[in-house]
Structure 1
Amino acid sequence: MRQRLALLVTATACLVLVAFLVPLAVLIRAVAEDRAVVTATGELQGLVPLAATTDTADLAALASGASRPVTVYPPDGPPVGAPAPRTPAVELAARGRSLTAEADGGREIVVGVQGRPDGTVVLRTFVPAEELTRGVTRAWLVLAALGVALVLVGLFVADRLARSLVAAITELSTVSHRLAGAELDARATPAGPAELRDVAGALNHLAGRIQDLLREEREQVADLSHRLRTPLTALRLEAEALADPAEAARVTSGVDAVERAVSGLIRAARRAAPAPFLAECDAAAVVRDRVAFWSVLAEDTGRAVRLDLVPGPLPVPVAAEDLAAAVDALLGNVFAHTPDGTPFAVSLTADGVLTVADEGPGLPEGAGERGESSAGSTGLGLDIARRAGRALVLSAAPAGGAVVTLKLR
């Protein structure tokens, strides 16, 4: 913007200067020419009374006494004074006319002196081009310097104005990027023109509104999660009351896992601000643990599980709780959308790509759309997995079934 404003001011200043300085330069040259011609004409007119009363023999002395070269043409006889040919202007002056005519290298001024008994005497002087343009070059240089100075002053003023505008716009851009990076406490300082101050105020209001909405959402999620503790407590008491110790331990372990998930959800909901990609965990360990958890249910439903994990540790920029929730969501979809006895496979490569494939009926209609499900669930499982990784890809296996690929880094 600064460059464009500078270019605009330069172009405008140049057009204005050309519109004023070119006619002024032409006027200066015309004034200089008129001044030189008027000066020479005045000096020649001063000799007219003397030429009208001086004898023909003394006309040479009259021409030599002039302050500039003067040629005198008597009515009869050769010219005296400064040597000069008899031009058409001299012929016209001999008929009683006085005039100024263009000549090679300047202008000639001729005056016809009448009233002598022997005829008309013609006085002629020549003004060279150097005298006609004397001082014009210097005046033009002064005008050019003045024009350059005005352009520079205009550029300086435009730069100062553009700097204030650009600084305000740059601050707005910086604040917007900080807000996009989850720095919700970022605020813009209203500065610059009224329009930019209004934009800064609107951006600050938007940031505050976003904070309020996120705070309300976190409180609602935390409250909902907290309400789950009551049925979990009742479920734990029921599990502890089971007669079979092994069955009681298994159910209690499941309740503990759910309670840990709920507690993690409450802590996540009450975080002051999200910090994506700042946490880190061992993906191999998390995936192995979650597959072991689901393997118990897979055994009960007659599902074969094939696990292919890269040797750990495999650090990925995802929190352990988020990755565990993503794996649970993907495996839960397998159990929800495929019949009992359907085998599935879980693999994790060294470049952080997690793949869950099953041999079920394939992808259901609406799969991958948030809130869409054909199995009576919330339809948010894939969205949970998508937010935990960098990218989520759904595809169909060549032999049938669904393949879900989650890129963790």
Structure 2
Amino acid sequence: GKLIVLLFGINYKLAVVIVGALMMIYVAFGGMTATTWVQIIKAVLMLFGASLMTFLVLKGFNFNIDFMLEKAVEIHRDGRHILAPGQSLISNPINALSLGLALALGTAGLPHILMRFFTVANAQEARKSVIWASTFIGYFYLLTFIIGFGAIWYLSQNPELFNRGPDGSFDLIKDLIGGTNMVAVHLANAVGGELLLGFLAAVTFATIVAVVAGLSLAGAAAISHDLYDNVIAKGNVTEAQKMRISRLSTVALGILAILLGIVFENQNVAFMVGLAFAIAASSNFPVLVLSISWRGCTTRGATLGGFIGLFTATAWVVLSSTVWVDEFGFAEAITPFPNPGILSIPLAFISIWFFSITDKSANAATEKAAFDALSVRAQTGIGVSKAEAH
């Protein structure tokens, strides 16, 4: 939404509705094939754009990283503190540790990441995919180091990118046009002019399309296949019915996303990403780990433990200063720090363990007896279902 506002000058709410509608149409009629292709194209363009922008940033500093860091320290209001691991690591170490746990463990529990493993032919290709993806992700993260510190200097030399006061002064962080989420877009304009700005804006929009499409598809698949097919209809459902439920789910999730996008207009993207990782690490990750590695895990334990982790993480964030104070307007937050991982992740593991060992049902005994077969399938890929086209 903010990107559309910056490029076309339209109302933010209208921009969110337009983007949300495009996502719903794309996912509902394109499916997994269309989503996969846009993610492939996005990845190539994003890596190229980030590499080009990094090259131009370094060129402006004569490829001297020390000089770039000196200029960033000179300009930034926090001075040399920006070179430290992070002020939150010292001022609020528990919150920093909590965020670190969520980012480290949450990746393995993100549903739109997990479902990519079902788009390849076999387990061997899935493992290759992980290696290639990790390589490209690591390379991109190295580029963000240069882009971030370079942006401090370049943006400060372009006051037209800020909302300035009557005397022409501006704050490097608070007054950036479009908010802090638009740093990379403005940096592209500063180092490459309107040509690079247009290219990066297109890449950013493609990235939004790819990510939202993947999330929407993961949610729709969970509702139509896991919930409706297996739980509600008990397998008595046709492909046409599943497709209809999937498309209706896409529309419903799209509307919910639009409403949340409007409510959380001014939230920093980095925090929202951390929130998603915290929820994944608190609900999906414990279930995956224990169901693969522990013979005693049962369906009852996994279900209740996953829900407890999900509820704890969500409730904690809602009651934190980020939502309870900044969005709802209350004077003081109920929870002491915003990131819930340090509490919700162990609680999910403990809950799965407890509800599994107390499950004495016949289904629990059957599931425990089937653990060896599941372990062989998980480690070797023998017996897994074939890849399907969607």
| Larger CA Rg, structure 1 vs 2 | 1
Please report the TM-score for the alignment, with normalisation by the length of structure 1.
0.23
Higher relative contact order (CA 8 A, sep 6+): 2
More helix as a share of residues:
2
